[in-house]
Amino acid sequence: MNNVGIVILAAGKGKRMQSDLPKVLHELNNKPLIEYVVSLVEKLNIRPVVVVSEDGLVKKYLVDRADYAIQSERLGTGHAVMQAEDLLKNKFGKVVVLYGDMPFLKPESVSNLVDVHEKQNNKITLMTTRVPNFENNYKEFYDFGRIVRNSVGIVNKIVEKKDASAEELEIRELNTGYFCFESDWLWNNLKKLKNNNQAGEYYLTDLVGLAIENGDRVGSIEILSEEAIGINTKEHLEKLEN
């Protein structure tokens, strides 16, 4: 893939893991979670920018396999991507955002995301997934943002769970968090994000609403739900072993 920069968000603390270790350094089948994601990016022949916290542990593990941006305060996904601007701006036509705690994404899904983004001439292309319900194996997906589409099926907005109405919570098409952005558009619009939401954070997902307001093209591809699994707790990690 040419002219594509990839950001991996990896600054999360291991709080819900009840650990001092950064979340992405917890192991799944004897490999740190971040290893799965960086290996995927290496298969695409891209050197990623990894957004990390200031403790230096992720950098110590990956050493020179990536470039690094520091997120000193955790103020949301939009804020995390802002930290990578100096390393990526004016260098790539497109920027893909991935997550260091989501180890099951396939390289071909990333390639497909970028292909669709280019062919449709989108400003934003996102990966969505669908689940049949929120029970048993799908319980974890209840926390995902919901994809709201208009009457002709075009993505209208993404609503985070904590901001969703009872009706919106019933939506089964979910935001995975994976995005491809037109680079110039991304850097120009990130600074317009506001943090007036329940969490007081700058959500990357709010860029979709901004694009719609501007009349900019937003597209999507659908991936299997297992590719969208993120690890949040030790119990979840143990359940996914093997």
Sign of CA dihedral 110, 113, 118, 121: negative
Q: Determine which one of 16, 130, 172, 217 is catalytic.
A: 16
39 with 81: CB under 8 angstroms?
no
Q: How far apart are CA 102 and CA 99, in angstroms?
A: 6
- The token duo for 162 is 């904590």
Q: How far apart are CA 192 and CA 210, in angstroms?
A: 9
Q: Is 149 a catalytic residue?
A: no
- The token duo for 11 is 């600054």
The contacts found for 14-18 with CB under 8 angstroms, 24 or more apart, are: 16/232, 16/233, 17/232, 17/233, 17/234, 17/237, 18/234
Q: How far apart are CA 144 and CA 38, in angstroms?
A: 23
Q: Is 198 exposed, middle or buried (0-12, 13-18, 19+ CB in 10 A)?
A: exposed
Task: Give the active site residues.
Answer: 16
